[in-house]
Amino acid sequence: MSPAEVFIQATDTDPDMKAQAVIEQAHAQLLGQLEAVPAAHEESATRFAERLYRCLAATDLTLYAAASGAAETRLLVRALRAEAKTVGDQIDALTAAGNEPGRADASRTLTGGLTLLLSAERNVLLPALRALPGVDLPALAEDFTTVLNGGELQDSTVVDVREILHGRRHPRIFTRFARLAEGESFVLVNNHAPKPLRREFEAAHPGAFAWEYVESGPEQWQVRITRVTKSV
């Protein structure tokens, strides 16, 4: 291990703590900028709302995605996604406000909802992610920052997990699935039949995925996983 890789867990030298600090700093900046929205020009308020939308999207594609496949955090992610939807509605109300008093009212409501959501992510989700095996929080923070700043994530159409330790595979797979648009797919390559993974998908994304075996052993399995329109 090189000196650069030596760190004390749960301190400022821990890469996970550094990654968490990056995310928390972005959150703090957004909350600070929100205070100025009521007095801002309508165009500036709209631009800020777009950044908030990107923050919600970035969080869903990275933090929520990585936690959605683990039994310990699955229900937490469902609750956070429901709260994020409420915050999205509050952002819509802010962009629809046509004057400064309207923006002030919408901004107060949004501040309350966003503060609650970000607090839950900071105090509950991020510590849970640090504890989950297989979660690469520094990589998630980097991807979060990319999306927040308007960039796009470059994802492979093939996810080969054969060289990844068993306990570290599922977060990688669920994170990739979260980035699929409806109708898009990726091919999972594994060295055993991924039946436990399918059960986790059925629990985490019921009715929202298609599962097609491309190759079924005996030494290699390939499965095409597609995001589909969830039936009502």
* One domain, residues 77 and 106: yes
Q: Last residue of some domain: 148, 169, 185?
A: 148
Domain count, the chain: 2
What percentage of residues in the chain have a pLDDT greater than 70?
93
Q: What is the pLDDT of residues 103-121, one digit of tens each?
A: 889 999 999 999 999 999 9
How many DSSP H helices and E strands does the chain contain? 9, 4
Q: What is the pLDDT of residues 26-55, one digit of tens each?
A: 999 999 999 888 777 778 888 999 999 999
Ranges in the chain, pLDDT < 70: 1-13, 167, 231-232
* One domain, residues 17 and 102: yes
* One domain, residues 11 and 95: yes
Which pLDDT score, from 0 to 100, does residue 179 have? 79
Which pLDDT score, from 0 to 100, does residue 1 have? 38
Report if residue 86 sits inside a domain: yes
As beta bridge partners, residue 160 has 189
Residue matched to tokens 């960039």? 151
| Structural domain boundaries, residue 209 | 158-227
* One domain, residues 141 and 178: no
Which pLDDT score, from 0 to 100, does residue 11 have? 58
Report if residue 232 sits inside a domain: no
* One domain, residues 8 and 96: yes
Q: Last residue of some domain: 148, 181, 198?
A: 148
* One domain, residues 176 and 76: no
Q: Phi and psi dihedrals of 97, rounded to 5?
A: -65, 125
Query: Cα 201 from chain centroid?
Result: 16
Report if residue 153 sits inside a domain: no
Six-digit token pair at 116?
């609650």
